[in-house]
Amino acid sequence: MPSELPVNILLVDDHAENLLALEAILHSLGQNLVRATSGAQALRCLLNQDFAVILLDVQMPEMDGFDTATLIRQRERSRHTPIIFLTAFSTNESMVFKGYSLGAVDYLFKPIEPEILKSKVSAFVDLFQKTAEVERQAAQLAALNANLRKSEEQFRSLCANSPIGIFLTDIQGNCTYTNPRYQTILGISGEECLGKGWLRSLASQDRENIFAEWSTCAQDGKECYDEFSIITPEGDVRWLTLRSSPMLSAKSEVIGYVGTVEDISDRKRAEEERAKLIREQAALKEAEAANRMKDEFLATLSHELRTPLNSILGWSKLLRNRKLDEKATARALETIERNALLQEQLIEDILDVSRIIRGKLFLNICPVNLVTVIDAAVDTVRLQAEAKNLLFEFVIAPNEAGNIDEARKKAKNNRENNGYVSVSNHLASPFMVSGDPDRLQQVVWNLLTNAIKFTPQNGRVEIRLSAIRGKEIQDSYAQIQVNDTGIGINSDFLQYVFDRFRQADGSTTRSHTGLGLGLAIARHLVELHGGTIHADSPGEGKGATFTVKLPFLEAKPHESPETSEEAAAASIPKLPLKNLRLLVVDDDTDTRHFLTVALQQAGAEVTAVNSVKEALSAIQQYPLDILISDIGMPEEDGYTLIRKVRGLPAEKGGRIPAIALTAYAREEDAKDALEAGFHMYASKPVEPIKLIDAIVKLAELNYPN
């Protein structure tokens, strides 16, 4: 676009009237008309101004037009300025030729036609303006190019020295540019980065997922961010962050993507080290806490074992003096038995925890009536509740109570007559589950003894059994709740109440006994049955509620409940072992004497020895019916004995029925004993009734009438 500013036109003539005439003709052009009355004055005007055209008279004194034109052309600034000669000598061709030779662009003869002059001058004015605009635009373009070159140099320097990798891709994800840092991070050359070559640096298992995620962002025109690892050609693993954004055209269309890649391996290593340090600190705290708990537990264990031992030893010494009356003697024996049973329970809890830790606690699954299980547990703790004058109740949900009255009566008869709880005859009960009756009774017993122990005098303990029926089978379950008005549980300790070896009060001044194992064992047993156990308490001094949920026994097609019970087993005869010849082998003198007396009182003839050697001699010398041997003996143990016995001929006692006795009460110990050649297994401390019952059963199997 031509400039709107007026341009300069130089009028050179030694006659003022000619200059006025030229001004009158050219005034309408609206340009700046500059006068000069001589060649010298014209040259002075050219020193500081540029002109679109010069109208130069040829005939002038001192310096004519040709001389002036010659000087104008010698100056660089005016060398190409258009000159139109004006002359009155139109017939002189040599003069015209000379004017053109000096660089004139035109030759006008006086008198001058105004329109012709105006047209010619206007053409040169327009040409000057356009030339000026072109020069201006060229200058701008040169400036822009200079800035662009500077920007390109800055961009190249920025990319070349950038601490992060930079890349460009087309809309298909093909890489078109990478900077040196990008190539260094990925460990490949610029050519290898182009196209989709950069994908080769990704781990093979991540390659497809990472590109798919990037492609999804690309298709949606979204920014992308990802963290992933690569493997360099040298085999080093590096962690990177990738960011990319779409590049848009003037029409807001995506034309490609620009992105960055940053090596965050150091940060990742620092995070891993920090996480490792945190884990180590946490493990150290846990170890310290575990050590404290272990120390507290061992102190508690020592206390719990020594306390009943004190009563046992004390009363035993008094009995040895033989100065007690009948009433005191009875009390002494009762105290010794009670404390021995307490020690036995402590040992059983410890063994159960050991089985749990080793994953060796197994269940003997069968249909179980929860009513009979709870009744049996309630009977065992009722005296404890009465001793503290507690309101102790077993409540069954009202909508189910009528269905189980008869079952409870039958269960009671079974316990009184046979010493065990039969569950197979109560399938009609609404509280049938699949489980181990002994272990479920242990759960209930643990919850009840805990409630009674932590409830003060004249308080209340309630165990409630209910059936929760949901719309779906999996939403239906049997629920056992034990509520008490005892000391309650602090909210901070609720989350730890089922942890092993943990008690709310581990100090030596605590007012309640126990090892803190019962609830941990109960939780594990409930979970083995596919159930859950939960503890609630409003707070200290406000009692507690323990809730057990067990899935119902699934009814099998065509299964009908038994409606009658077998006759009660005949009571045990007064001398159940009469005419049986028994061999007892045990290195412990007290145990050996105790077993001898107990078995002799049951009618047996007992031979007792203290070693494998003596046992083998007795078996081969005397006709014996049953071998009862301890496992853990010095020099040669019970396993060695039974292997040697089984190696004897049948007539020498090689097939004698055998029962193993041991203080090791693990399941694998029982399995080892049976595999070694024993027929039965009994753990210490041995209850005479149970041992006698086992001998009777073994004798019936091997010596039928």
Pull the structure tokens for residue 10.
Answer: 């130089």
Determine if the peptide bond prior to 685 is cis (ω within 30°).
Answer: yes
Q: Are 484 and 449 in contact (CB under 8 A)?
A: no
Percent of the chain residues topping a pLDDT of 90? 14
What count of other Cβ atoms lies within 10 Å of the Cβ of residue 369?
28
Average pLDDT over residues 426-430: 51
Model confidence at 61: pLDDT above 50: yes
Per-residue pLDDT at 426 exceeds 50: no
Element (H, E) at 244: strand 237-248
What are the φ and ψ backbone dihedral angles of 532, each rounded to 5 degrees?
A: -135, 155
Sequence-ordered list of residues with C-beta below 8 angstroms from that of 77, at least 6 positions apart, any chain? 46, 50
The more confidently predicted of residues 157 and 503 is: 157
Neighbour count for residue 643 (Cβ, 10 Å)? 12
Is it the case that residue 267 has pLDDT exceeding 60?
A: yes
**What pTM was computed for the model?**
0.45
Residue tagged 């190409």 (tokens): 80
Q: Determine the 3-state secondary structure of 303 from DSSP.
A: helix
pLDDT given at position 508: 35
Q: Which two tokens stand for residue 447?
A: 């919850």
pLDDT, one tens digit per residue, over 164-178 is 888 888 877 788 888
Q: Are 199 and 207 in contact (CB under 8 A)?
A: yes
Distance CA 461, CA 543 (A): 10
The overall average pLDDT reported for the chain is: 79
How many angstroms separate the CA atoms of 526 and 535, rounded?
13
Q: Which residues pair with 483 in a beta bridge?
A: 462, 545
> Whole-angstrom Cα distance, residue 488 to residue 472?
35
The DSSP secondary-structure symbol of 577 reads: T
Residue at token pair 């000391």: 487
Exposed, middle or buried: residue 132 (CB in 10 Å: 0-12, 13-18, 19+)?
middle
* Most confident of the ranges 158-162, 236-240, 378-382: 378-382
Do residues 582 and 605 touch, judged by C-beta distance below 8 A? yes
pLDDT score of 589 = 84
Answer yes or no: is pLDDT of 88 > 60: yes
The structural domains of the chain, ordered by start, are: 8-137 (3.40.50.2300), 162-263 (3.30.450.20), 277-353 (1.10.287.130), 364-551 (3.30.565.10), 581-702 (3.40.50.2300)
pLDDT at 425 over 70: no
Mean pLDDT (whole number) for 546-570: 57
pLDDT exceeds cutoff 80 at 410 = no
Confidence of residue 231 (pLDDT cuts 50, 70, 90): confident
402 neighbors 430 (Cβ within 8 angstroms)? no
Count of positions (residues) in the chain: 705
Task: Please name which of 444, 306, 441 lies closest in space to residue 363, comparing C-alpha atoms.
Answer: 441
Confidence of residue 565 (pLDDT cuts 50, 70, 90): very low
Position 418 pLDDT exceeds 80: no
Q: In this structure, what token pair is assigned to residue 72?
A: 């104008």
How much is the pLDDT for 460? 93
pLDDT category of residue 534 using cuts at 50, 70 and 90? very high
Report helix, strand or coil for 305. Answer: helix
First-last CA distance in the chain: 134
Secondary structure (3-state) at 251: coil
Q: What percent of the chain has pLDDT over 70?
A: 81
Return d(Cα 272, Cα 237) in angstroms, integer. Answer: 14
pLDDT band at 259; cut points 50, 70, 90: confident
pLDDT (average), residues 197-206? 66
- Contact yes or no for 660/631 (Cβ under 8 A): yes
State yes or no: pLDDT of 69 exceeds 90: no
pLDDT bracket for residue 302 (50, 70, 90) = low
Task: Please state the rounded mean pLDDT for residues 275-288.
Answer: 88
> How many helical (H) and strand (E) elements, i.e. helices and strands, does the chain have?
19, 22
Whether 371 shows a pLDDT value over 50: the answer reads yes
How high is the pLDDT of residue 702? Answer: 78
Q: What angle do CA 313, 318, 323 make, to 5 degrees?
A: 170
Local structure of residue 576 (DSSP, 8 states): T
> Is residue 321 scored above 80 in pLDDT?
no
